[in-house]
Copies of this chain bind each other. A is one copy, B any other.
Amino acid sequence: MSEQQGTIDRTVDVAVVGAGMAGIKAALELEARGLNVCVLEARDRVGGRLKPGHIAGHKIDNGGQWVGPQQKLLLAEAETHGVEKFDQYRQGKSVLDFKGKQSLSSSDVPKMPFVSLLDLQRTVSKLDALAFSLPSDAPWSVRNAAGLDGQTFETWIQANCWTEYTREFLRMVTRSLLCCEPKHVSFLYFLEYVRGGEGLDILLGVKGGAQEAKFRGGAHQITEKMAAKLKSPVIYEAPARAITQHDTHVEIVTDRGTVTAERAVIAIPPTLASRINFANSLPVRRDHLMQRMPMGTVIKVHVAYDKPFWRDKGLSGMGVSDLMPCNVFFDQSPEDASCGILVGFIDADAAAEYSTAGDNARRQAVIDSATQFFGPEAKNPIDYVDNDWTSEEWSKGCYVAHMAPGVMTTFGAALREPCGRIHWAGTETATQWQGYMDGALQSGIRVAAEIADRRGLAMAAE
């Protein structure tokens, strides 16, 4: 159900800003508690960083898409709404283009000299051990937080890896996970992200990992089906522009009218939240945190061919590169293989570059990358689609916000802390699988419970 016309002036118990998975989950949980809720969305669709698309007549996800077996909340939500999953295609060898050399592998790790492999294993174990040492609700309070947060991941990489192979591998990993370069991110924040994703093997893995499966018909359907269950339909094209707190309520001014609510849930990325006019009512740490959580930069691309020609060559359609503009590919063909589709990513600094390089240059760079990975058949696609998340007005980047050094230890405690009648959701606020759909769901569930608690306390006090 949606509501598209006229003014939306109304009074509700809770107003939710943002109809991404986090906001809709929060609204459903609040409605289940008997509250009157309204969800305000800037776009003309639900889903936020989940976004439907088409290529060569087939449905695709232009936004988030994968699910791993650890992501129990997402798996349960999909099941509730009858959205089925199927395995990511991974038969055959992956192409690893690394330090200027190509190799084929049945693992996700590039072919490396023995000492580099050893170094990589040693380094990944060390990173995982450090990550798992963080307290999940307050990573900023870990012993030696100052040391971990005082440096970039790049600094750690340079100081701790024995070989240039390992260094380049970890740079590639950072681009793939956070859509930024290791120079941009706090080492502590990187570790927190690894902790949330249950370690690097799971985060990076296909079988048994975060890319194991995808959703038949697209992940974006889950938010659509969730939204359809709302008692009060999502209000579209109603970006929140100003939020004022009063003693007994909050007022949310949108482009389509004003909503008065007892409490508000802000379920959008921090950098977008910073653009709402809170009339200076937020505590200093919250405002300054939002000044310091930029979004990563990424362009998601799809290229379609008349058939998945790579499969005939014994290739999985997976490719990973340290140098190519489009540095990661997966097979995104329809289940019946009626055509061949590759999905790829231009991320981190390359995304900033190719976002402004022009449509043709970007398309050509992607096709060139695919050709380098999978051979000359890649030169002649039947269709091409890309989604430049770096310039999406209502995301301002993807997949997720990150923190530069020092931010977590100085301002991190404000991440989930309610500010009067304003509560914070969104995948960035999760304590597990932040940056993923699963984290978005967790944040929606948490924020609804938080509001129920506060309302309970307020009622008990009356």
Contact = CB atoms under 8 A, between A and B. Distances in A.
A285 B353 CA distance: 9
A168 to B, nearest CB: 14
A149 B291 contact: no
Interface string A268-280: 0001001101011
Interface string A131-153: 00000000000000010011110
B152 A184 contact: no
Contact of A152 (B150, B285, B390): B150
Given A154-B405, A184-B404, A271 B284 contact: no
B352 A183 contact: no
Given A287-B396, A292-B294, A150 B146 contact: no
Nearest to A239: B277
A275 B285 CA distance: 18
Interface in A386-414: 388, 390-391, 393, 396-397, 404-407, 409-411
27 contacts: A150-B152, A150-B182, A150-B183, A151-B152, A151-B154, A151-B155, A151-B183, A152-B155, A152-B406, A180-B406, A183-B406, A183-B409, A184-B404, A184-B406, A184-B407, A271-B291, A274-B275, A275-B275, A280-B393, A284-B390, A285-B356, A287-B391, A288-B294, A291-B294, A291-B396, A404-B407, A405-B405
Interface of A: 146, 149-152, 154-155, 158, 180-184, 241, 271, 274-275, 277, 279-280, 283-285, 287-288, 291-292, 294-295, 297, 349, 352, 355-356, 388, 390-391, 393, 396-397, 404-407, 409-411
